[in-house]
Structure formats: structure tokens, C-alpha cells
Amino acid sequence: MQKLPYLNNVNYKSNNQINYLAGGISNIYPPENIQDDEVQDMYNMCLDNYPAIRTRIGRTMLQNPGLKGETIKYFGVAGVKYLFYIQGDKLKDMDGTVIAEQITGTKFNHVYYADGNQEYMILYGEGVTPTRHKLPLSPLNTPEIVPLPSDCDKFEHMCYHKNRMMASNGNMLYFSALQNPMDWSSTEDSREDRVENCNQITGLVSFDDKLIVFSEKNMHLYYGSNVIAGETNSYTCVTLDNNIGCYDQCTIKVHNSYLYWLYGRSVYEYDGSTIRTIDRAESNNGMTRWSKTIFRRNNNK
């Protein structure tokens, strides 16, 4: 006899919206707004017996933004306050104002960064022409097409790390010029690396003063901050060889100075030196019971 979907008891109701689609935490709200009991949802999603799916409506979420018109393909928040969505082939702000048209693609993602007092968002994804949008969004600001590196046909994952935009395609990692995500070809200031022991990069995240590159079955840590002309070792890559990877960028979140992600049937936590699996949430204020430590980094980098 089959069991019905169920959730373990959680006594605190979050105001954030969490969606699950083939696993993962949605990017409706930035990581600093994800609350502790939502890790309980991640645990529930990994259960064998028909894990239940829970959806919440957030504080600033639009009410029925797609009630009239075409299908809403993507929601996102750039930074902490700029909510936007893609409806049909149009990019719209939280008031429904059309910001840009002829937005095509099958899988969307975005990355936020700030340069001084100016904030930007880059929209990218499968079949998407990468475009940079000045924030706050306005139809008066013309989107800028982000050029691709010469040997790259698309950006699969992106993140901003130490004043550079990082992007990946396959097992190639690309570094933009310093403080210029629009420049990927400067011979003295940009760079590309083929990540060793990696067939496919599945996620990028800037965490604990290093760039973490996830592959399907591993983690690769990039240390350093500068691209030095003529020197290939200005960044150092350490492969952990721990057989812990991640499936997609959307399954990675930073919260309260910890990195969380989904892999297999487990939720992992990383504090910069030790990786743990989350066994079960026992309180609404944090995780109080853990499985054994899987990995502890022994180098001093």
C-alpha cells in the first residue's frame, strides 16, 4: 500500500517562496533571506516516500502577474530588491512595465553585480543572448549584449567573484577583465581555464574568499585574485576528489555564512573547511543534529 505525501513537522511558517522543479531552491529570494526552516524543506524533498512539495507566497511577490497574457517563463530577484519576470518574450519589472522585448530561450538564469554605486544584472541561459541591464530596470535603458569569449557559444553558469565575472561552458571556466564583465578577450586581463578532472561544470559560487566550481561528481576550489599577464599560476585550483558534486546552479545557496547545496539524496553544508551532510532539522533556529563529517580541508590556503 502506497504512502501518502507528507512533511515532517515544521512549526514556523516562512514568508519566502520556495519552488522545486527537478530539485533545488528557487532564486525568487536572495540567499540572505532564506530562513533556517527551509532547510527542512530541502530534507523533505530528499525523502524516498513521495516527498511533498511546499510553495509559499513571498512578501513582495506580485499577485497573479500572469493572470492576463502569455506564460510566465521566469521569476528572479536581482540584488535584494529588484524583482522581475519574463512573460512570453518580454522582460518586465515588478510593476509589469515592459523593459525589453524579443527575449528568447528555453532556460533562463541571471547574475547580479555592483560596480561602485551602479548595479547591473546579466540575463543568460540556454538559447538566450546574454544581455546586461542597468538597475533599477527602466524601459529607457537599452540592454547591452554581453560579448562571448572567442571559443565559447554560450554561458551555462555565471557568478561575480572578486570584481570579475566568472562564467562556464562545458568544462571551461572564463574570467572577465577586472571590473568589466563586458570584456572577455583582453590578453592581459582576462583568462580561461579548462578545469581538470571535470567533464561538465554544473555550478559556480563565490564563497569564503574563493571561487567554488562544482562538477557532476566533484568540487574544485580556486584561490587567488589577480590575472597576471604571462603567468598561468596567478590562480590556484585545488580539486577535492571527494565524490561530492552538484546537479545545477539553482541547487546552491549561501545562508548565514554557510554554503548549502543538494546532491544525490543529501543536503550538504560547507563552512569553508568542513563539509557535512544535514541529517534532520530539529529546530526552527538552525540545524542541531548532523551526520558525521565527510571532509576536512587540511591545507592552509
Check: CB of residue 103 under 8 Å from CB of residue 152.
no
pTM above 0.75, yes or no: no
Calpha distance 174→162 (Å, rounded): 14
| Pairing between β-strand 236-239 and β-strand 219-223 as defined by DSSP bridges | antiparallel
DSSP H or E run through 296: strand 289-296
- pLDDT tens digits, one per residue of 94-140: 888 999 999 999 899 999 999 889 999 999 999 999 999 999 999 99
Question: Grid coordinates standing for 181?
Answer: 564583465
Reading the block at residue 149, the C-alpha cell is 569569449
What does the pLDDT look like over 75-94, one tens digit per residue? 888 987 899 999 999 999 98
Task: Please list the alpha-helical segments (H only) found in the chain.
Answer: 38-45
d(Cα 236, Cα 193) in Å, to the nearest integer? 11
pLDDT at residue 57 greater than cutoff 60: no
Q: What angle do CA 254, 23, 75 make, to 5 degrees?
A: 70
d(CA 62, CA 141): 23
Among the four given CATH numbers 1.10.1740, 2.130.10, 3.30.70, 2.60.40, the one describing domain 31-296:
2.130.10
